[in-house]
Structure 1
């Protein structure tokens, strides 16, 4: 009997649960700084223990009794104590919706609010509190910083995102390449662009867009496009600086990126101490971002997309794989192992092998994906004007002005930044390796990235999701609830092409693969900056371990950690770029003057 009783006792939280809880706590600390809600306000009401249906109604009443409470909030959340059962959670969610509708006279679905009921992370136990919070959205500090930087650079550089566009295409085509001298560097303009695009054109274009629309509505698309347009200027400045302050080793290898223009560029300005601090801070964040958003997130989301097409990834558990089985699925570790091997083969070859791989994968995957999107759009040409109207109306909805308007704007800019990385500083690492006699020429090439990534690819994804109505369909509520953006996008395409999710699954894997190999390079360069080239093998092994972990870890906290790191890179990067932007402006004026006078000639 004693043995039976011992077996019935709960085993307690497992390793992944502990990682989940610890990472969630860390995310909270980091997020309280990086995502400090400028202009936001949260109202709360609390009850001890797990509330019942009557207490939920009392919690709602207490919110409305606050004289400063505004019903037009952006998000309503009920957090229950750890260990609350799913049945109890679902029952209390129904009670919350009923109580809220009774107070407001409208359902949550018909208003500007989003509503969630979740169970607190951590081990189950007695006690705890039930907390009802209603938040009026402000603008996260990171997003505000990105917006202000992008707007400033656009005006400071005289709208280089418009006047440099044609020249950027000509440079990528090789029309200005001197056949006798390309300058120092390791890769061509096109290879540098492809390497940087392979890091940006990824699951942010497929999963990120769907998540943005799920959370912010179709209007988020408008702000994603606006962010892409303004981000072209940010990308130009940071990649020009990456070229200007790079270091070329005797063996021809190039060391460049934000770390070098922050440390060396600010040193020239007499700000050596600040520059060194910002460079180290940036490098640490970039390494964290490469492990999370640039790796674990890519594996996790691509795996979710493949499950619908590859049956063996969702089988019944077997004794052989029981030690790896998690809520994510018993055979997921096989996918993680395969991806780790494939990524390892490429990244061991350095930037030249990464560039050679990227210049083949990026055009292929972009072509396949864009053709699929164009097919859906051409088939629904008559609905495009209505979709664009929905997007524009959603971007400026007066109904959501107290929280929804800012919420939509924030979702658009946040997902665009995560997708195209403009202002983050990561692409400067890839572009610093390009062969070019003029640093600003490479910066002009780099401004094509946000255009291709966000204005073209992300917009096509958004139009497909809006036209098919997948973003609001009750059939796909589970995708939206679980932030499964890849699954929602696949469902949207399947409306018109039932077979396309198979193709999309392959495209998603290529998107993820190309993003991972480029982010491995970014992270390794930052690792080498901090610890020296001799320790790079340690970074590569850690990166591959994270690749494997991405297939078996189900915690969103672990994945969100990468988001925080990548967007957090904007703080040291934009501060340094703002200080150094005057020099870039002078270099740009000089280059454009030579281009106009014919001193810089075309060779093709």
Structure 2
């Protein structure tokens, strides 16, 4: 009862905003600082590092994002599972907890989210249709970064006596850099990453997700005259219970849920957009023309980069999180003896959530004329614009979008809870008491996130997710040669099994 009264106070969000704002403003300002391009325009330095890193890995690995795309699909389909049965390797034991497909859906569930729905609308409002081209480009380049970090995640993971996997940047930073003689640096970077990942899991991976899901649910489902209108904490308690039931079972339970939810929610959303595009099929060529023409307009270039910033790390679930390192935590749990096999699977993520889902959303918004270029909007307005685009074709589609948003948020939350717990266990131990404490705190933040608009908390958590990039990218650059060795090793095994089948 006391907790209900606390979170229902009108000034609750103001108190939290002031407390977090005063304590963390310096950190947020430092991480989100911009490098000026003109007197009025700047690009965040972290975005330049992420883009530059993605371009470097694409060139270093000779366009692995394109040349190995179909190989990645075959790995997910299980074509090369015979490599794991011991016939090609001395060890007959395949370590891991989940399949390639389950690892992929778990990671995708954390990245496909509100950024793909509202973030695209924000990007287009800033830079027009041309912003879409730059989102696609960054998504394609990000496939290479995702390949590198997820290969390292599997290579340096730890497996306990019960078969439970612990992996991610914490481990490849500490162990990988240790192998190269940088033991102290590796441990410091690993600890920094873990701290920021925990903060990101509570904020961008939890509070923001539930808050924005409730906003749309309230707008579409709950009448303003209803006594339930404005009672976000009730929605938060319900989702917190559902999240708790899932995450208490660990990665196997999370994967068993995401491998069902993710295909359904993505297909459901894409089908709805396809129908809108089908109704307006004659306008599609003109929309692609607008994207191409606007891509090289100065306004379009700015919108693309800023749009990726907003739709991604600044607002919850980035379109692909490539370079951040979070997805490598989920992929580390895969059942394989070949780290590069999961790296290839992981490169499909940015294609699904950025190249596919974001492009579909952009086309729907452009064709239905929902976006007014030059008018800056917030995330809540972005969701409503996408809802209006779907409603223009079929009146009940906003209800479908509401269901999709809730599923997007739910799946992102359970995946980010796993990311946060892995980081938590790295710092505070892997015993059951520590595990349950983290998960209890995570569920409490779910209720708080639904009950209030926490701008300062959101800025802080977004800055922490951005900051995860710093230690992670250092590790990716320093360990890229290890990834190349693993890629060559796996490709060599594929060649052998292909020769035998022929």
* TM-score clears 0.5: yes
* Structure with the larger RCO, 1 or 2 (CA within 8 Å, 6+ apart): 2
Whole-angstrom distance in 2 between the partners of 1:377 and 1:435: 39
How far is 1:391 from its partner?
A: 2.0
Whole-angstrom distance in 2 between the partners of 1:539 and 1:249: 20
- List aligned pairs for 1:429-448, cutoff 5 A: 429-448=329-348
Tell me which residue corresponds to 2:201.
Answer: 290
How far is 1:601 from its partner?
A: 6.7
Tell me which residue corresponds to 1:140.
Answer: 44
Tell me which residue corresponds to 1:115.
Answer: none
Tell me which residue corresponds to 1:277.
Answer: 188
Tell me which residue corresponds to 1:35.
Answer: 32
Whole-angstrom distance in 1 between the partners of 2:206 and 2:141: 27
Tell me which residue corresponds to 2:480.
Answer: 581
How far is 1:413 from its partner?
A: 5.2
Tell me which residue corresponds to 1:243.
Answer: 154
Tell me which residue corresponds to 2:89.
Answer: none
Q: Which has the larger radius of gyration?
A: 1
Is 2:153–2:168's contact at 8 Å kept on the other side of the alignment? yes
Whole-angstrom distance in 2 between the partners of 1:413 and 1:584: 27
Is 2:80–2:494's contact at 8 Å kept on the other side of the alignment? no
User: Which of residues 291, 299, 303 in structure 2 aligns to 1:391?
Assistant: 291
Is 2:273–2:360's contact at 8 Å kept on the other side of the alignment? yes
DSSP-derived class of the 1:569 partner = helix
Is 1:416–1:454's contact at 8 Å kept on the other side of the alignment? no
1:159 and 2:63 correspond? yes
- List aligned pairs for 1:465-504, cutoff 5 A: 465-472=365-372, 480=377, 483-504=380-401
Whole-angstrom distance in 1 between the partners of 2:22 and 2:290: 38
What do the CA deviations read for 1:33-85 (whole angstroms, capped 9, x no partner)? 2222123465xxxxxxxxxxxxxxxxxxxxxxxxxxxxxxxxxxxxxxxxxxx
RMSD of aligned Cα (Å): 2.3
Whole-angstrom distance in 2 between the partners of 1:397 and 1:22: 42
Tell me which residue corresponds to 1:516.
Answer: 413
Whole-angstrom distance in 2 between the partners of 1:23 and 1:602: 61
**TM-score normalised by L of structure 1:** 0.76
Whole-angstrom distance in 2 between the partners of 1:595 and 1:230: 25
Tell me which residue corresponds to 2:258.
Answer: 358
Gap change, CA 1:600 and 1:416, over 3 Å in 2: farther
Gap change, CA 1:190 and 1:13, over 3 Å in 2: closer
Whole-angstrom distance in 2 between the partners of 1:336 and 1:407: 34
Whole-angstrom distance in 2 between the partners of 1:570 and 1:154: 18
Is 1:227–1:416's contact at 8 Å kept on the other side of the alignment? no
Gap change, CA 1:464 and 1:13, over 3 Å in 2: closer
User: Which of residues 190, 195, 201 in structure 1 aligns to 2:101?
Assistant: 190
**Structure 1, 17-26 or 331-340: larger mean CA deviation:** 17-26
Gap change, CA 1:533 and 1:371, over 3 Å in 2: same
Whole-angstrom distance in 1 between the partners of 2:296 and 2:363: 18
Whole-angstrom distance in 2 between the partners of 1:339 and 1:270: 46
What do the CA deviations read for 1:249-303 (whole angstroms, capped 9, x no partner)? 1110011011000111000011111111111111111111111111111111111
User: Which of residues 312, 326, 339 in structure 2 aligns to 1:426?
Assistant: 326
Whole-angstrom distance in 2 between the partners of 1:154 and 1:292: 31
Tell me which residue corresponds to 2:20.
Answer: 23
Whole-angstrom distance in 2 between the partners of 1:480 and 1:15: 25
1:544 and 2:443 correspond? yes
Tell me which residue corresponds to 2:219.
Answer: 308
**TM-score normalised by L of structure 2:** 0.91
Gap change, CA 1:248 and 1:601, over 3 Å in 2: farther
1:338 and 2:229 correspond? no
Is 1:210–1:489's contact at 8 Å kept on the other side of the alignment? yes
1:568 and 2:467 correspond? yes
What do the CA deviations read for 1:79-134 (whole angstroms, capped 9, x no partner)? xxxxxxxxxxxxxxxxxxxxxxxxxxxxxxxxxxxxxxxxxxxxxxxxxxxxxxxx
How far is 1:514 from its partner?
A: 0.6
1:217 and 2:128 correspond? yes
Gap change, CA 1:351 and 1:295, over 3 Å in 2: same
Is 2:105–2:255's contact at 8 Å kept on the other side of the alignment? yes
- List aligned pairs for 1:104-123, cutoff 5 A: none
Gap change, CA 1:560 and 1:434, over 3 Å in 2: same
Tell me which residue corresponds to 1:4.
Answer: none
Is 1:210–1:465's contact at 8 Å kept on the other side of the alignment? yes
Is 1:220–1:408's contact at 8 Å kept on the other side of the alignment? yes
How far is 1:309 from its partner?
A: 2.7
User: Which of residues 166, 170, 184 in structure 2 aligns to 1:259?
Assistant: 170
What do the CA deviations read for 1:503-558 (whole angstroms, capped 9, x no partner)? 11111111111110000000000000010123121111111011001111123222
Is 1:315–1:330's contact at 8 Å kept on the other side of the alignment? no
Is 2:96–2:164's contact at 8 Å kept on the other side of the alignment? yes
Aligned pairs, number: 481
**Structure 1, 209-218 or 356-365: larger mean CA deviation:** 209-218
Whole-angstrom distance in 1 between the partners of 2:428 and 2:215: 35
What do the CA deviations read for 1:160-191 (whole angstroms, capped 9, x no partner)? 00111111111111111138467110001111
